[in-house]
């Protein structure tokens, strides 16, 4: 079977993306990043989701981009906002998806994988520049030039199957594919057991998605 690398954060979107890649017939290798994020529970969730959905291999690698600072997700001194605002929020992590895709590109080449799947989503997202279709297209153009595999005629494809879906569409799709969203963690400030705050951007988008999809929200929330 052809192989694929799937960026797996432990959240709802990437779990759905993994289910889509498995259904499409790929042997899936999942990649999670410990980048100093405050929501460590998502790393536990990523391993759990990979096992539950049947990934062939799961790898967690540590990249100390938190050292650079500049984001509420990696800097304890910057609070996670609890109300939506205009523009790109402080939870933006500089160059995160570029870094994640570039590492996936390296692993994909060693695995001779045909596709890298990334669960970015340009509709119900947080305004991050590296979740837009034009960003994915630019990374695809780069991948056509960057590797030995590409020069030898087999560049890896970058697929972003959620890119045009709403959060409700994503949930319906994953639900139909049997994804157990109780295993996933989206919250930017989940506690160690993975319980969600219910108030950050990620929680609000997720909760609204379940409501719009008409599917019961299985998220475990922290007591207020």
Using rule CB under 8 A, residue 86 touches a second copy: no
Using CB under 8 A, which of 23, 54, 61, 154 touches a second copy? 61
Tell me which stretch binds a second copy (CB under 8 A): 15-23, 126-134, 178-186, 190-198: 126-134
**Residues 6 or more apart in contact with residue 85 via CB below 8 angstroms:** none
Cα–Cα distance between 152 and 11 in angstroms, integer? Answer: 35
Strands of 3-62, DSSP E: 3-7, 27-34, 57-62
User: x/- contact string, 172-201, with a second copy (CB under 8 A)?
Assistant: ------------------------------
Using rule CB under 8 A, residue 88 touches a second copy: yes
Using rule CB under 8 A, residue 95 touches a second copy: yes
116 DSSP β-pair partners: 5, 158
Q: How many CB atoms lie within 10 A of CB 125?
A: 17
Using rule CB under 8 A, residue 77 touches a second copy: no
If the CB atoms of residues 59 and 175 are measured against a second copy, the closer one turns out to be 59
Using CB under 8 A, which of 67, 76, 216, 223 touches a second copy? 67
Q: How many CA atoms lie within 13 A of 55 on its CB side?
A: 26
Give yes or no for a contact between 182 and 206, defined as CB atoms under 8 angstroms apart: no
Using CB under 8 A, which of 76, 83, 86, 134 touches a second copy? 134
Using CB under 8 A, which of 99, 122, 123, 177 touches a second copy? 99
Degrees to nearest 5, angle at CA 54 with 188 and 175: 60
Q: Which of residues 26-55 bind a second copy (CB under 8 A)?
A: none
Three-class DSSP category at 14: helix
Cα–Cα distance between 72 and 78 in angstroms, integer? Answer: 5
If the CB atoms of residues 127 and 198 are measured against a second copy, the closer one turns out to be 127
Residue reference for tokens 């997202």: 125
Three-class DSSP category at 187: coil
Using rule CB under 8 A, residue 3 touches a second copy: no
Using rule CB under 8 A, residue 139 touches a second copy: yes
Task: Give the residues lining the site for a second copy (CB under 8 A).
Answer: 59, 61-65, 67-70, 88, 92-99, 101-103, 105-107, 109-110, 129-130, 132, 134-135, 138-139, 141-142, 144-148, 150-151
């Amino acid at each position: 079977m052809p192989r694929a690398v799937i960026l797996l954060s432990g959240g709802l979107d990437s779990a759905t993306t993994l289910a889509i890649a498995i259904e499409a017939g790929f042997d899936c290798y999942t990649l999670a990043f410990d980048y100093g994020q405050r929501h460590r529970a998502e790393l536990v969730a990523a391993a759990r989701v990979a096992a539950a959905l049947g990934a062939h291999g799961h790898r967690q690698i540590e990249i100390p981009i938190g050292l650079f600072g500049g984001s509420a997700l990696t800097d304890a001194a910057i609070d996670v906002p609890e109300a939506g605002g205009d523009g790109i929020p402080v939870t933006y992590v500089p160059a995160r998806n570029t870094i994640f895709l570039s590492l996936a590109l390296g692993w994909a080449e060693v695995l001779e994988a045909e596709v890298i799947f990334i669960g970015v989503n340009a509709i119900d997202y947080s305004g991050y520049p590296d979740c837009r279709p034009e960003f994915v297209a630019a990374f695809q153009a780069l991948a056509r030039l960057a590797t030995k595999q590409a020069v030898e005629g087999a560049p890896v494809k970058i697929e972003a199957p959620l890119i045009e879906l709403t959060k409700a569409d994503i949930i319906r799709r994953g639900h139909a594919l049997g994804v157990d969203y109780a295993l996933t963690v989206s919250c930017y400030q989940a506690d160690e057991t993975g319980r969600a705050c219910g108030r950050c951007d990620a929680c609000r988008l997720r909760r609204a998605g379940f409501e719009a999809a008409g599917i019961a929200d299985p998220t475990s929330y922290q007591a207020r």
